[in-house]
Amino acid sequence: MSGGWDIEQLDLGAYLRRIGHATDVAPTAEALAALHRAHVGSIPFENLDIVLGRGIAVDLESVQDKLVERRRGGYCYEHGVLFAAALERIGFQVERMLARVGGEDLERPRATTHMTVRAHAGGARWLADVGFGSGLLSPLAFDDPGPQRQGGWTFEIAAAGPSSWRLREQRSGEWVTQYGFDEQRLFAADVVMANHFTSTFHRSPFVGRPVVARRDEDALRRLVGRTFTLERPDGSAEEREVGEDELGGLLRDVFAIPLTDGEVEQLTFVSRAAG
């Protein structure tokens, strides 16, 4: 059973060129780490098509056209669909899962609004999540119970039950849950439904305002609405409001998102109304 992912539609060579990775690649742990780093460094996290009124399509053909051919970014479902397809085409065993973002309130759990990926390589399992925005730089060893550093950041995978897990990040000496997930098989139709909710529900954080993020080894940069934040691994942060005349330059130069003047003007209008 394929699960409806249609991975044969992927132009693997075009994807590898998009992320600046050599086309000769094998399903090894070293290749997985290199692909993950290259993807995160090349394809930004952004929800701008929702704000522009276009909506989000999560079938592989649409995702490939947007993220690869048009060199745009996307949010978790788009990244997850594309990266998992590329890994499977290369020969990795891949498991796709939905996750609940945020804390650990078992009385009022959040909906499953994030897609993550687990890959097998080198006789080990790896959390390979390129689509969280403020998440991993490299795959995280799934069966390593201790903290794992990535640049200046520290993460861990903590067991929350027999087949339940949490991705946690250490911030200012405290462990903060990024999301939790269960080992339940995911189908393409499940992503269509989750994406519809996340991209249209009026209380979704991705509806009505730009959300853009990019993490590297030394900083996490985020634009939410008109507020730009730069966070560092030591917990320090800088925050400022983005002027209307600098929005396009910020998206292009800091987040590597190519937009037309008309698209920037529309985003500026939406941000002004939301603010």
- For the residues of the chain, what is the DSSP string, one character each? --TT--GGG--HHHHHHHTT--S---S-HHHHHHHHHHHHHHS-EE-HHHHTT-----SHHHHIIIIIIS---B-HHHHHHHHHHHHHHHT-EEEEEEEEES---SSSPPPEEEEEEEEEETTEEEE----SSSS-SS-EETT--S-EEETTEEEEEEEEETTEEEEEEEETTEEEEEEEEE-----HHHHHHHHHHHHH-TTSTTSSS-EEEEE-SS-EEEEETTEEEEE-TTS-EEEEEPPGGGHHHHHHHTT-----HHHHHHHHHHHHHH-
Return d(Cα 183, Cα 233) in angstroms, integer.
Answer: 30
> What residue ranges do the domains of the chain occupy?
7-207
State pTM to two decimals.
Answer: 0.95
Residue 24 annotated to the active site: no
Residue from 77, 74, 68 nearest 50 by CA: 74
Taking only the tens of pLDDT, the chain with its 275 residues reads: 467 999 999 999 999 999 999 888 999 999 999 999 999 999 999 999 999 999 999 999 999 999 999 999 999 999 999 999 999 999 999 999 999 998 666 567 889 999 999 999 999 999 999 999 999 999 999 988 789 999 999 999 999 888 899 999 999 889 999 999 999 999 999 999 999 999 999 999 999 899 999 999 999 999 999 999 999 999 999 999 999 899 999 999 999 999 999 999 999 888 776 65
Out of 21, 120, 129, 190, the active site residue is 129
Out of 39, 114, 120, 190, the active site residue is 114
Residue from 238, 201, 234 nearest 223 by CA: 238
Quick check: 75 and 56 in contact, CB under 8 A?
yes
Residue 245 annotated to the active site: no
Per the listing, tokens 């995160």 go with 40
Q: Which residues contact 85 (CB under 8 A, 6 or more apart)?
A: 5, 6, 7, 10, 60
Q: Does domain 7-207 have CATH number 3.30.2140.20?
A: yes
Quick check: 54 and 200 in contact, CB under 8 A?
no
Residue 129 annotated to the active site: yes
Return d(Cα 129, Cα 102) in angstroms, integer.
Answer: 16
Q: Which residues contact 56 (CB under 8 A, 6 or more apart)?
A: 47, 49, 50, 74, 75, 77, 78, 195, 199
Out of 36, 76, 79, 190, the active site residue is 76
Return d(Cα 119, Cα 103) in angstroms, integer.
Answer: 25
